[in-house]
């Protein structure tokens, strides 16, 4: 299992340049109370999705947990697993600070994925790994990941975290769906669609900040905000793993942000073309983080989305960017949610 290869509980994500990585409130308030009773409910992301089998030096195999209705592998899974493979040969004093990848073929959920790692460069401060995710002898993803040693600097700044309700004051996607399903006049097609959503075993918990925008595409705000965390317990320590979980999480409900300004269209064919992430500070992917997503541009059957993952204490944990192919068709009947 690559986790043991990666040197277990090391702290391997970039910090903002402090000598001591900033602690998130949850770290300070010791373990999340419920985590004590859910230690045995270890996140399936850790026990299965990001738990690669080592086949040979720099060659790993990953399996699938949840597959979207499109029946092409979820992009976040491939990116997260590629980062696990890349990090396995990187020493403990280096932290993942960025990754850039292209999705070049659809992933086949019927076969596992092989991850072939190339040790591109081991520099003095930076180390780079290139990963090919392979199925049926062909790459489905090509990825470069870069790792940096801790190098403090007086040069620090960040945007300000949006002011939103706390997760404790919001409903999960599942709770919202049950609320919509309780509407007696709900259209049959909507009821079927929502029940399919409920049946998904997505290993991520989500609390939308503006539920109607989340489900009913209205062009009121061109931004999507939701609280997100991995289901189950991961615990402190291995920041490398938290970066891999964040890579998984960052691709969920991301590309759809580009549809927000166009409530009269829905996706006919959509898929992520690339995905880039920058890790700025330590964070806990099994604690609530605010995901702020926006789309600065769409055109030519493509859409660009950008995201910022915020810790609850206002520290910017990570930034993401993705372009996807978006072929759309007009919405014939308005949403009846
Ligand atoms: C809004 C909801 C957002 C959901 C986002 C989901 C996020 C994800 O995780 S997606 C998973 C990760 N990403 C991927 O798997 C993408 C992998 N890459 C690929 O599959 C390929 O590179 C791809 C398809 C993007 C481009 O390949 P390419 O050979 O150029 O195919 P392309 O010409 O675009 O045709 C692709 C499909 O669109 C159809 N198509 C092509 N042109 C058009 C057109 N003008 N109008 C309509 N359909 C078209 C094709 O018929 C084809 O359909 P099918 O696969 O059923 O035959």
The ipTM assigned to this model is 0.93
Nearest atom (ligand 1) to Cα of 326: 1
- Strands in the chain per DSSP E: 53-56, 59-62, 94-103, 113-122, 126-135, 138-149, 204-208, 223-230, 265-272, 274-279, 289-299, 302-310, 316-330
**Which of 61-70, 92-101, 161-170, 275-284 shows the lowest per-residue confidence on average (mean pLDDT)?**
61-70
Determine whether the shortest distance from the Cβ of 142 to ligand 1 is under 6 A. Answer: no
State the distance from the centre of ligand 1 to the C-alpha of 107, rounded, in angstroms: 12
For the chain, domains (ranges, CATH) are 44-151+164-330 (2.40.160.210)
Identify the DSSP state of 21.
P
Atom of ligand 1 nearest to the CA of 73: 11
CB-based contact 172:191 (threshold 8 Å) = no
Name which residue sits closest to atom 56 of ligand 1, judged by CA.
269
The pLDDT assigned to 8 comes to 35
pLDDT at residue 62 in the model? 96
Question: Active-site residue 251, yes or no?
Answer: yes
Distance 223 CA to ligand 1 centre (A): 25
Q: Is the distance from CB of 41 to CB of 232 less than 8 angstroms?
A: yes
Q: What is the pLDDT of residues 99-140, one digit of tens each?
A: 999 999 999 999 999 999 999 999 999 999 999 999 999 999
Q: Which two tokens stand for residue 319?
A: 């930034």
Confidence at residue 26, expressed as pLDDT on a 0 to 100 scale: 44
pTM: 0.87
- What's the confidence (pLDDT) of residue 239? 86
CA distance 130 to 120: 6
């Amino acid at each position: 299992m690559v986790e043991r290869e990666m040197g277990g509980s090391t702290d391997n994500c970039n910090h903002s340049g402090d000598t001591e990585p900033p602690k998130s409130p949850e770290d300070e308030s010791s373990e999340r109370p419920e985590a004590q009773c859910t230690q045995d409910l270890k996140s399936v992301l850790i026990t299965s999705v990001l738990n690669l089998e080592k086949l040979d030096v720099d060659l790993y195999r990953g399996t699938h947990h949840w597959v979207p209705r499109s029946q092409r592998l979820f992009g976040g899974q491939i990116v997260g697993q590629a980062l696990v493979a890349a990090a396995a040969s990187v020493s403990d004093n280096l932290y993942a600070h960025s990754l850039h990848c292209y999705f070049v073929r659809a992933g086949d959920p019927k076969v596992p994925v092989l991850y072939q790692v190339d040790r591109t460069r081991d520099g003095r401060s930076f180390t780079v790994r290139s990963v090919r995710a392979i199925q049926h002898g062909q790459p489905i993803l090509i990825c470069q990941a870069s790792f940096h040693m801790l190098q403090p600097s007086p040069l620090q700044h960040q945007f300000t975290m949006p002011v939103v309700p706390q997760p404790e004051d919001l409903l999960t996607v599942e709770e919202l769906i049950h609320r919509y399903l309780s509407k007696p006049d709900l259209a049959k097609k909507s009821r079927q669609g929502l029940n399919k959503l409920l049946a998904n075993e997505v290993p991520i918990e989500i609390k939308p900040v503006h539920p109607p925008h989340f489900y009913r595409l209205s062009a009121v705000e061109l931004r999507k905000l939701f609280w997100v965390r991995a289901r189950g317990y991961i615990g402190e320590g291995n920041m490398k793993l938290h970066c891999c979980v964040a890579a998984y999480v960052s691709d969920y409900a991301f590309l759809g942000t580009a549809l927000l300004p166009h409530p009269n269209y829905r996706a006919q064919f959509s898929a992520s073309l690339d995905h880039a992430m920058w890790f700025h500070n330590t964070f806990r992917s099994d604690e609530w983080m605010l995901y702020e997503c926006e789309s600065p541009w769409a055109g030519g059957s493509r859409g660009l989305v950008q995201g910022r993952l915020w810790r609850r204490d206002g520290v910017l944990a990570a930034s993401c960017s993705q372009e996807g192919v978006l072929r759309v068709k007009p919405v014939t009947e308005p949403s009846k949610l």
